Amino acid sequence: MCDFDGTIAVEDVTDSLLDRFAPPEWQVLERDWRAGKIGSAECMAGQVALLDASRDEIDEHLGALRIDPAFPQFVESALNAGATLRVVSDGLDYAIRAILARYQLDDLPILANRLVQTGARKWRLETPFSDPHCRIGSGHCKCASAVREHNRHHRVLLIGDGASDFCAAGEADYVFAKHRLIEHCRHAAIPHTSIVGFADAIGLLPALMAGKLYTPRRVLASV
């Protein structure tokens, strides 16, 4: 399971869209979310409703955004090693696909919120991967996604960087952590390795796939 904004993508793609195409009110919602007053689903739904942009303008903006240059090689290495890779994001599916398509990676499974155009310059958020029991009110409940992978008898590696990954980190067997996720894993005693980017992750793959980095965190029940 691999996060997108700030992990695969060099920057937070959603914030970059809001910076360019939304009025400053989006930052009020952001502050309320960071203060714990609202969940991320409510926050992002309100922010997306503020976007004032045509599809062409959004496409032009997304065309200038970059990903970690080592990510394509990481994908190839992981798939060749027999792993299944899913992009799990509390961001926007349309933006993720548009960016990954430039690198011929848009065939990767993507679990993210839906960006739906409702008018020439109007947009709406849909949350097909939400969970009514999500502890942090996420649009995409990544911890529920991690539990589903465990129920399929899969071992779960999470690669992430921020608050939307905190809950999922507690459900993963192992974590490659960036930025704020590093301190969270340290504080919660979650098995992890700190990485700067996917070049580090590529180097860790052989030991991970050989089971040398972690002890499985649970015995999986039959389904």
The Cα 146–Cα 74 span in angstroms is 20
List, for residues 89-104, the tens digit of each pLDDT value. Answer: 999 999 999 999 999 9
Total structural domains within the chain: 1
Is 220 inside a domain boundary?
no
Which CATH number belongs to the domain containing residue 128 in this structure?
3.40.50.1000
Residue 56 within any structural domain of the chain: yes
Q: Indicate whether 70 belongs to any domain.
A: yes
Is 28 inside any structural domain?
Answer: yes
Q: Are 164 and 40 in contact (CB under 8 A)?
A: yes
pLDDT of 214 > 90? The answer is: no
Residue 166 has phi, psi (to 5 degrees) of -60, -50
Six-digit token string for 165 = 């990954």
CB 91 within 8 A of CB 14: yes
Q: How far is CA 164 from CA 131, 137, 145, 209, in A?
A: 14, 10, 12, 25
pLDDT tens digits, one per residue of 4-30: 999 999 999 999 999 999 999 999 999
Q: Is residue 3 part of a domain?
A: no
Give me the domain span that covers residue 48. Answer: 13-209
The verdict on residue 222 lying in a domain is no
